[in-house]
Structure 1
């Protein structure tokens, strides 16, 4: 179950990147702004994840701070989907992340 939860969290991380692109490409703006946002948002999200949220983050955060960053990151993905006109998808993204965090906490192998 733990490995399945890890696979799901990875897919949800990718979904946040997709949400950033989806939001950017659906902006009510000119094509140049949509392309810039559609490419730029996922790049910025990925950079932030690599610096603070990843397992081997460039800036390791203590447990509670890392969890807070990850929560903010996934909520941002949900909000981007909401802004792109997909509120159910946004809520599902955040809800699945919360459920997955619970499963990971309950099934994590002990050291």
Structure 2
């Protein structure tokens, strides 16, 4: 049950990061076209990078995996901060860090 709960939390924070990118893109864009491009494009770029380097089934080394994870989750936390939610950004990054530490130390990920 512990393993399933941590893996579920990992999945949820990944999805939440994509949602944060979409919201940040919408809030940041000036025109409607820019808003749509950012709100769709940023999560799409993050998802592609995640799939190529950070997903458990990605055929890449450990270094790119951790770089992509730090970038995606760190930027999501920074985006929350820049949208006026600094505490939420900090909590998000702390929860992600704790979850990744648990997954790494318990070898829950292939």
TM-score range (shorter-chain normalised) is: 0.7 to 0.9
Secondary structure of the corresponding residue to residue 35 of structure 2:
helix
Query: Structure 2: any 5+ residue segments left out of the alignment?
Result: none
Shift of 1:50: 0.9
Higher RCO (C-alpha under 8 Å, 6+ residues apart): 1
Distance in 1 separating the partners of 2:46 and 2:33 = 20
Contact (CA 8 Å) 1:22, 1:81: kept in 2 or not? no
Residue 32 in structure 1 maps to residue 33 in structure 2: yes
Which residue number in structure 2 is paired with residue 78 of structure 1? 77
TM-score, normalization by structure 2: 0.85
Q: Output aligned runs, 1:94-105, within 5 Å.
A: 94-105=93-104
Which residue number in structure 2 is paired with residue 46 of structure 1? 47
Distance in 1 separating the partners of 2:100 and 2:63 = 13
Secondary structure of the corresponding residue to residue 22 of structure 1:
helix
RMSD: 1.9
Number of aligned pairs? 108
TM-score, normalization by structure 1: 0.84
Query: Structure 1: any 5+ residue segments left out of the alignment?
Result: none
